[in-house]
Structure 1
Amino acid sequence: MHLSTSFLLLALLNSVRGATVLASAAKPTQFITLDIVNGPVAPDGFTRIGVLANGTFPGAPIVATKGQTLVVKVNNKLTDNTMRLSTSINFDGVFLDSDNIFNDGTAFVTTCPFGPGESYTYTLPLGNQTGSFWYHSQLGVQYSDGLRGTLIIYDPDDPLAHLYDIDDASTVLTLADWLHNTSTSALTSYLATQINPVPDSGLFNARGRYNGGPEVEYAAVSVSQGKRYRFRLINISVRSNFVVSIDNHTMTVIEADGIATEPHEVNILVIHAGQRYSFVTANQAVGNYWINAFINGGTRNPNLNSTLSRGILRYEGAPDEEPQTPMTAGPTGADAVLLNEWELVPLAPIPAPEPDFNLTFRTFMPEGVTAWQINNVSYIPPSEPTLVKALHGETEQMDFNKTENTFLFPANKTIQVEFIDPINEGHPFHLHGMNFWVIKSNGSDVIDTVNPIRRDVSITGNGTTILRFRTDKPGPWSLKSTLAVDNGKLTDPLVLYHFAVGLGSVIGAGLDKVEKAVHPTKAWEQLCPAYDALPPSEQ
């Protein structure tokens, strides 16, 4: 009876918050409809046309329960040809098995995009995964136009539930950088100047301000004194990281990228594009407190003012007004207790297996060229997706162009990747299909193979980052700095505009087993012929 009630409540929650949900308590399947449309959006007071899921930014939130299957029908209703008219959706951090890899949504790796007037349905069995996730366009830099939203998988048996009282729609928090220009114009400028696009504003819960702009009301998060709240903080940015703190409050971190962690108390954390954290807080006197969400997005845009990127934590009984305390970037010096990735301990320990293969990824951007490289190669997606090639029996290294940056490994092996970033750009790298063990975090000399943090987004920088992962799932899995390129168009999300100019790779795990392991649907098989038949203006 308790489980049935949970399903009904989650279905009602989805309906209220914008996602079209047709689930019932008797069926462990969530049916979601996302209409991708062009429409006006003004999170910082500047109105522009965006690419929106169900007409909102962020897009309609998706809510599920452990063990369910998500069936997400995406209808492409885009009409504005100043931006990309095709689309493809990735559900970031949701791990698919090999037999379902064709629903990964990574354009030109596991699928082709689909054009205006077309639809595609993604089927996502969630298994035992729980935690905080998100979805976004996986075609070029399209998601910077607004096609990004949250995906929460609740655990009815959360082993950390005794630490909090409230965990619902009101406690899902988003951070985002925002551009007044379209993604296509920003990319054109980047390719011409080598100057990374700098956002016009930073947003907390889809609200923010920019220099000279209107005083948009800051998003307020309501809490009641005496209650403990689990906040799910999700950075849905194109490239920016945020330094987050709450005046007079500590934050007890209990999740990183869908992995439950031992409680770890801090008062300031840096969260990079694509990363997610859950933390417990709200234990102070009634009042209004600044949520400091200081954006690190660059300095070349006079509109951007990092101090104006923030929200309000408002206790019940406090006046409906801004805090009377100064706007700051949070604790500094000896008062700052910073979240360090290497100090996070997974609640369920899984030792990192010894590697069978070792890779070194050296990221670099040659002078005078707008093209990032991994090991002297700028990734250019093939016209035929990697998965299609593998299904056609192309499974040897000679079958892939050098620019596809595809690294082939046998199935059921452990791969260790050491990242060297001499320019110290701080790239978030994201692995599709599985977590990796973070053996060594950037900024630390600690090497942990006993119980290192497991996650799907980690950072390179002026130190060495070492990751390990398994090739237990046959197929091509994208390993990239969130942003990619597809035949002159971009297809990747975390440091989006760097992925768009080459900072990506593909891990070919046991490709010789793909033909037996993967059995795509007819609908998927029709995507590439339909996309190839589109005029360039609709791709």
Structure 2
Amino acid sequence: MKNYFAFLAFVQVALGAAVATVKDVTIDVVNAQLAPDGFSRSTVTANGQYPGPPILVNKGQPLRITMNNKLTDPTMRRSTSLNLDGIFFGSQDVFEEAEPFVNACPVGPNATFVYNVPLGEQTGTFWYHSELSVQYVDGFRGPLIIYDPADPHSTLYDVDDVNTIIQVGDWWQSSTLPLLDNYVATGVVPVSDSGTVNGIGRFQGGPEVPWAVINVQKGRRYRFRIINESARNVFTLSIDNHDMTVIAANGVNTQPLTVQKMDMLAGQRYDVVVAANQAVGNYWFNAPFVGGNPAVNPHQNATLSRAIFRYAGAAKVDPTTPMTLGPADGALVEADLLPLVPTKVLTPDVSMTFNLVVTTGKAQWNINGVSYLSPQTPTLEKVIDGATQAADFNVTENTFILPANKTVEIIFPPTDDDDAHPFHLHGMTMQVIKSMTSNNTNTVNPISRDVVGVGGSGTTIRFKTDSTGPFMFHCHIFWHKFAGLASVQLVDPVDTPKNVQVTPAWEGLCPAYDALPQELQ
């Protein structure tokens, strides 16, 4: 027995060492000629793929990403910046957040930057993308999954692997620079040509590109990790004849909730369990989308945004049922989601109201009358150099100075329309005290997430300022973010320089970027 316990202790130590082993990932940001929807164009990609290769790690496993910028195409931005959407950096590591001109400067062409990412206790479904301007529209986006060996939902599914990651995204056949030029000239947000599922789509009048296929085996239950990697579009997802049971939202476990369809805003993620309990055959995975007036772009046909949900043993043919927009009923209501583990509702110490307004006919959005404009010197660098109060920042930096270890409440008043702006908070999760999907306020057991829809009947969120430093809070419709729909939540600028531990590599980013000619930035 003594030997048994000694062996057990050895195994536990060995397992702990295995979990602690650094996960090394290399991302070469390169231009590649790709045709996700059958139209060939030059793209900006991670390792030549759209979407980029999956980054798969275990809970508590340190992650190190070496990003090599090898961009050469002059028709698109040649600098870049990697963002890990939904991953939270603490006070010491806030510089690794790498939000351009907030936490760091971009990485120029022919340069390398190493991101050291202590994942802490986070688990769930996340994604990565370029955070520079609207560059990820050109293709630089992919999944990041943190597996939990002690997942509390593990009894609900049989399969959870790289093949159960589902990525939906909007796709443009033009590169971002001319799209931005037209947006600035007209104020009309670009409308995508197509929608893609796992990197494959079709457009009206285009070639019949073979559909993406989601393979299942009858009798098994699948945990699908669904990510909306779009820069604008809202996708409505469903699977013909199959229910979906939501078990997580944006990396936070929820009480199981069964639905027939769900709307996903840009940047949102849902984990769902689907039982392969129907007759062996082919079924449509429906992913229609909305995102601007389709008349602006004759290529757009939302019903062509889909994939095949195929059982093992079924013929490799298209489903014989009609291509629909999905069921009429059974939609997910965000306000119905409840946390798996109840958390204490935060009592606000600071309360703010954010009014969102667009300037008609211009590519300009603002929060409380201010349209965000990136400064030349990153916010964090200014703070390290002694900036501590509002007067130390340009008005257009829209910087809100907050105390540490307090609860901040932000109220988004009701609007005249039901359009949802997916607001994303870097660095912290938000308790959704009032969802725009309900008139009710939940001060008992609200869900927490890092992307929430604001608009319609109004939204109220609360978050705890656990980490010091600057954190971006912006609309995840990146065209709107480009047009100023963003702010910086700066937590405790006095103590930030004492807490953050920047590296020489980080300190070298801005001088290197500033020395680049404009065409390489």
Assess same fold via TM > 0.5: yes
Q: Give the whole-Å Cα distance in 1 for the aligned partners of 2:363 and 2:306.
A: 33
Q: Is the CA contact 1:201–1:304 (under 8 Å) kept in the aligned structure 2? A: yes
Q: Deviations over 1:262-292 (max 9, x none)?
A: 1100001000110000101122121111000
Q: How do 1:458-469 and structure 2 match up within 5 A?
A: 458-469=452-463
Residue aligning to 1:470: 464
Verify the 8 A CA contact 2:334 2:437 in the aligned structure 1.
Answer: no
2:279 is the counterpart of 1:297: no
Q: Does 1:72 align with 2:68?
A: no
CA contact (8 A) 1:247 1:330 kept: yes
Quote the Cα distance in structure 2 between the aligned partners of 1:2 and 1:124: 30
For residues 39-82 of structure 1, give each alpha carbon's deviation from its aligned partner in whole angstroms, at most 9, with x where no partner exists.
11111000000001001000111000001010000000000111
Q: Deviations over 1:411-457 (max 9, x none)?
A: 11111001136363311000001100000000311211221010000
Look up the equivalent residue of 1:464 and give its one-letter code. G
Match of 1:285 among 275, 279, 285: 279
Listed one character per residue, the Cα deviations across residues 472-504 of structure 1 (whole Å, up to 9, x for unaligned) are 2110100000xxxxxxxxxxxx20101001000
Identity %: 50
Specify the alignment match of 1:489 in structure 2: none
1:51 and 2:40 are equivalent in the alignment: no
Structure 1 residue 370: deviation in Å? Answer: 2.1
Alignment of 1:375-524 (within 5 A): 375-420=368-413, 422=415, 424=417, 425-481=419-475, 494-524=476-506
Contact 2:185 2:362 in 1 (8 A): no
Q: 2:468 and 2:414 mapped to 1: Cα distance?
A: 29
Separation (CA, whole Å) in 2 of partners of 1:346 and 1:283? 27
Give the Å deviation of 1:171: 0.3
Contact 1:362-1:421 at 8 Å conserved across structures: no
Q: Which runs of 5+ in 2 are unaligned?
A: 1-6
1:311 paired to 2:307? yes
- Structure 1 unaligned blocks of 5 or more: 9-23, 482-493
Alpha-carbon distance, 1:26 to partner: 7.4
Q: 2:163 aligns with which of 163, 167, 170?
A: 170
CA contact (8 A) 2:19 2:61 kept: no
CA distance in 2, matches of 1:4, 1:466: 49
Describe how 1:230-245 pairs up with structure 2 within 5 A: 230-245=223-238
Taking the aligned partners of 1:133 and 1:161, their CA distance within structure 2 comes to: 19
Match of 1:125? Answer: 118
Q: How many aligned residue pairs are there?
A: 509
Does the 8 A contact of 2:218 with 2:280 survive in 1?
yes
Instruction: Using the TM superposition, give the Cα deviation of residue 348 of structure 1 relative to its aligned residue in structure 2, in angstroms.
Output: 1.4
Question: Does residue 329 of structure 1 match 2:325?
Answer: yes
Corresponding position of 2:97: 104
Q: Deviations over 1:77-102 (max 9, x none)?
A: 00011100100101000111110010
Q: Which residue of 2 aligns with 1:484?
A: none
CA 1:102/1:358 → structure 2, altered by over 3 Å: closer, same or farther?
Answer: same
**Offset of 1:297 from its aligned partner?**
2.1
1:3 Cα offset (Å)? 13
| Conservation of the 8 A alpha-carbon contact between 1:28 and 1:67 | no
Q: Provide the C-alpha distance between the structure 2 equivalents of 1:130 and 1:449, rounded to a whole number of angstroms.
A: 25
Give matches, 1:331-370, under 5 Å: 331-332=327-328, 336-370=329-363
Distance change (3 Å), C-alpha of 1:124 and 1:324: same
Q: For residue 526 of structure 1, what is the aligned residue in structure 2?
A: 508
Q: Is the contact made by 2:156 and 2:273 (CA closer than 8 Å) also made in structure 1?
A: yes
Structure 2 match to 1:276: 269
- Aligned amino acid, residue 520 of structure 2: E
Normalised to the residue count of structure 2, the TM-score between the two structures is 0.95
* 1-structure distance, mates of 2:239, 2:83: 31
Alignment check: 8 A CA contact 2:428 2:465 kept: no
Residues in 2 aligned to 1:122 and 1:348: alpha-carbon distance in whole angstroms: 31
Task: Look up the match of 1:14.
Answer: none
Is 1:84–1:142's contact at 8 Å kept on the other side of the alignment?
yes
| Mapped partners of 1:101, 1:328: distance in 2 | 45
